[in-house]
């Protein structure tokens, strides 16, 4: 079946602009995660959703970052007033149950470049 879908695949934006990244998880997966991967670096946890609620937002770097999930499905990650240090690949993942007990399935990511 279809995997995790993210859009756009690439986004170039000017410093100070807002961006919205979208994630469409695998159908039936209740848990959804956002991670950030800077060039050549590891996977930095941002936020986790179980259904529509976000029990863990501890990884959001600042109040410029927010995320929501509606209908237990699609999620959007919004970055306001983008800064150059926000440039990275933003990866979304979903899992059948909470990721502490079942594998994460990743999307291809959105490569964000802030100029």
Partner 1 sequence: GENVEQHPSTLSVQEGDSAVIKCTYSDSASNYFPWYKQELGKRPQLIIDIRSNVGEKKDQRIAVTLNKTAKHFSLHITETQPEDSAVYFCAASVGAQKLVFGQGTRLTINP
Residues of this chain that bind partner 1 (CB under 8 A): 33, 35, 41-43, 45, 48, 50, 55-56, 91, 98-109
Residue 89 CB, shortest distance to partner 1, in Å, is: 10
Q: Which is nearer to partner 1, 91 or 114 (CB)?
A: 91
Asked if residue 27 lies in contact with residue 69, where contact means CB atoms within 8 angstroms, the answer is no
Q: Which is nearer to partner 1, 12 or 97 (CB)?
A: 97
Q: Residue 75: name the closest of 38, 2, 26 by CA.
A: 26
Residue 104 CB, shortest distance to partner 1, in Å, is: 6
Contacts of 31 (CB under 8 A, 6+ apart): 48, 49, 50, 94, 95, 96, 97, 98, 99, 102
Q: Which is nearer to partner 1, 35 or 82 (CB)?
A: 35
Residue 62 neighbours by CB distance under 10 Å: 10
**Strand 110-114 with 53-56, pairing:** unpaired
Q: Which is nearer to partner 1, 34 or 73 (CB)?
A: 34
Residue 96 CB, shortest distance to partner 1, in Å, is: 13
């Amino acid at each position: 079946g279809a995997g995790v879908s993210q859009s756009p695949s690439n986004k170039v934006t000017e410093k100070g602009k807002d961006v919205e990244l979208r994630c469409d998880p695998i159908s039936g997966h209740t848990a959804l995660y956002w991670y950030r991967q800077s060039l050549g670096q590891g996977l930095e946890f941002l936020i986790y959703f179980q259904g529509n609620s976000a029990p863990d937002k501890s990884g959001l770097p600042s109040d410029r970052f927010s995320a929501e999930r509606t209908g237990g499905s699609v999620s959007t990650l919004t970055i306001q007033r983008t800064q150059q240090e926000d440039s990275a690949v933003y990866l979304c993942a979903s899992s059948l149950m909470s990721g502490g007990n079942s594998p994460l399935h990743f999307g291809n990511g959105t490569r964000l470049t802030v100029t």
